[in-house]
Amino acid sequence: MQRIVHALIFLVIVTGVIQLALTIPKPPLSKEVPTPTSVTKAKVFLKRPPQSYVLPQSQFVAQSFNNCGPATLSMTLSMFGKYVSQEELAQEMRPFNNPFGGVDDKSIFAREFATYARKYGFESLHRPNGTIDLLKTFVANDIPVVVRTLLNPYEDIGHFRIVRGYDSAKPGTVQNPAKQNIIVDDSYNGPGIEIAYSDFLSMWQPFQYGYILVFPKEKQDVVNSILDKEEDETVAWQSALERAEKELKQNPNNTYAQFNIAIAQYHLGSYENAVVSFEKAEPNLPPRMLWYQYEPVLAYQKMKNYDRVFQLTDAILQNGNLAFSELYQVRGEVYKVLGNTEAAKQEFENAVYYNHNFLTAKKALENMN
């Protein structure tokens, strides 16, 4: 009997020890305390887009000839209290410019726009695959969005605009359906221009629905939260590719969808497929398409199809766009590979002549000398 009592007492003691052990917190796996920057993302509260929202107007700038890029950047910077004239920006972004037209640098590229915005102390990035809902979300969270679209539907002139508002609440009737508009500041047409969603999308599609964000550093978490997975540029281009493929499937005659497939494939490193896709779109493309997006030229260069590089660049340079410095750079690189150093040097000189701020061309020319 005494043994049984001792056994019961022992059992009670062991059970208590086990229960006590289970209640003691386990030590952390690491002594380091997680920080918002290294382990967890800061919690961001996004504003839900209301039916209508318009940001305050920028300091409007009426562009000089072909100067929509610098003029749009000037207006964008003004929305954050930074004032730089379009003339000053033009001397940096497209120094071979002519306020009255003629032989001049016709345009800048989205990556250049973002690069120069960063020079003025702002964060900036370019992504494809924008949507109306995405624009509304950025605007509702006080971030204007720069887009490149066609100047007008059914034309082939590229044009930068600032999206700073939208209106999806206008009442309608059976006879006059409700109008849903994007509101832009447009250096060519004026401030506060309203464009119907359908027209806006049709003018936006030829540029992969691309958009440029310019914002102060304190807005970085907001931007990242809105971008979500497409904060990663590769993910964004993959999404753009899938969207273009879907649009082409819905309408096999959609030339812009076919072209967008080629552009996305180039940015994803699939150069051979980019060339194939471009050649499917090429017969139906408007004449100025490669003025604003010359990735097909670069794809041919990657594939070492130099005859096509010269064919496409000749067609552009000899038909209204003589001051396209990037094309001279590509031609110089090709001539150098082919061993024609004199021709390469001449092309690099042309590139620098038409843009004395073109560092890649200046370095290439220095190496030749």
**What are 365's two structure tokens?**
């020319």
pTM: 0.86
Query: Rounded to an integer, what distance in angstroms lies between the CA atom of residue 61 and that of residue 128?
Result: 26
Provide, for the chain, the percentages of residues in helix, strand and coil under a 3-state DSSP scheme, each rounded to the nearest 5: 50, 10, 35
**What pLDDT, on the 0 to 100 scale, is given for residue 176?**
66
Q: Select from 216, 41, 208 the least CA-distant residue to 126.
A: 208
Query: Rounded to an integer, what distance in angstroms lies between the CA atom of residue 314 and that of residue 320?
Result: 11
Q: CA 209, 213, 219, 221: dihedral to nearest 10 degrees?
A: 40
Long-range interactions of 97-103: CB distance < 8 A, separation 24+: 97/64, 97/65, 97/66, 97/67, 98/65, 98/66, 99/64, 99/65, 99/67, 100/65, 101/65, 101/66, 103/322, 103/323
Query: Rounded to an integer, what distance in angstroms lies between the CA atom of residue 129 and that of residue 152?
Result: 20
Q: CA geometry: angle at 79 spanning 108 and 357, to 5°?
A: 30
**What pLDDT, on the 0 to 100 scale, is given for residue 235?**
99
Name all domains of the chain by residue range, CATH numbers in brackets.
Answer: 49-227 (3.90.70.10)
Query: Rounded to an integer, what distance in angstroms lies between the CA atom of residue 210 and that of residue 250?
Result: 21
Within 10 A of 25 (CB to CB), how many other CB atoms are there? Answer: 5
Element (H, E) at 238: helix 233-250
Is residue 200 within 8 Å of 149, Cβ to Cβ?
Answer: yes
**Side-chain half-sphere of 122: how many Cα atoms within 13 Å?**
24
Query: Rounded to an integer, what distance in angstroms lies between the CA atom of residue 309 and that of residue 306?
Result: 5
Query: Rounded to an integer, what distance in angstroms lies between the CA atom of residue 40 and that of residue 45?
Result: 15
Query: Rounded to an integer, what distance in angstroms lies between the CA atom of residue 7 and that of residue 16?
Result: 14
For every one of its 369 residues, what pLDDT tens digit does the chain have, with 9 covering 90 and above?
444 434 434 443 434 433 433 333 333 333 333 333 333 456 789 999 999 999 999 999 999 999 999 999 999 999 999 999 999 999 999 999 988 888 999 999 999 999 999 999 999 999 999 999 999 999 999 999 999 999 999 999 999 999 999 998 766 555 666 679 999 999 999 999 999 999 999 999 999 999 999 999 999 999 999 999 999 999 999 999 999 999 999 999 999 999 999 999 999 999 999 999 999 999 999 999 999 999 999 999 999 999 999 999 999 999 999 999 999 999 999 999 999 999 999 999 999 999 999 999 999 999 988
**What pLDDT, on the 0 to 100 scale, is given for residue 323?**
97
Q: CA geometry: angle at 135 spanning 40 and 178, to 5°?
A: 140
